[in-house]
Amino acid sequence: MDVKGTPRYLYWLFCQFELITCSYLMEPWEKVLFYSFNLALLGLLLYTAYVCLVLHASSAFQLLCGSPGAPRENSLSGVK
C-alpha cells in the first residue's frame, strides 16, 4: 500500500463527497451544520446497528446452538 498517496486519496474522496452533496457551494457555517448533522446521524446509525446486531446475533446463536446436554423444553408441556 502506498502510504504517501493515502492523504491524497482521502482528499480526493472528500472532494468527491463535496461534489456529490453540492456542499462546496455552502457557506462555512452551513458546512459546519451539515457535516455535524451527518456525523451525528452516522454515529447514531452505527451505534444502533451495533446494539441490534449484537442482540440478534446472540439470540440467534442461543437458538441455533443451545446447550447440547440440557433437555429441551416442550412447547406443549404448558397445555396439560
Measured between alpha carbons, how far is 59 from 66 in angstroms, rounded to an integer?
10
User: pTM above the 0.75 mark?
Assistant: no
Reported in sequence order, the residue ranges of the chain that DSSP labels E, i.e. its strands, are: none
Provide the 8-state DSSP code for 23: G
Give me the pLDDT at residue 14, please: 92
Examine the pLDDT at 12 and tell me if it is beyond 90.
yes
Burial of 16 (0-12, 13-18, 19+ CB in 10 A): exposed
Domain extent listing, the chain: 27-63
Per-residue pLDDT of 15-36, as tens digits, reads 999 999 999 999 999 999 999 9
Per-residue pLDDT of 55-74, as tens digits, reads 888 888 888 886 555 555 65
Give me the pLDDT at residue 1, please: 57
Report the number of secondary-structure helices (H) and strands (E) in the chain.
Answer: 2, 0
**Arithmetic mean of pLDDT, 36-65:** 89
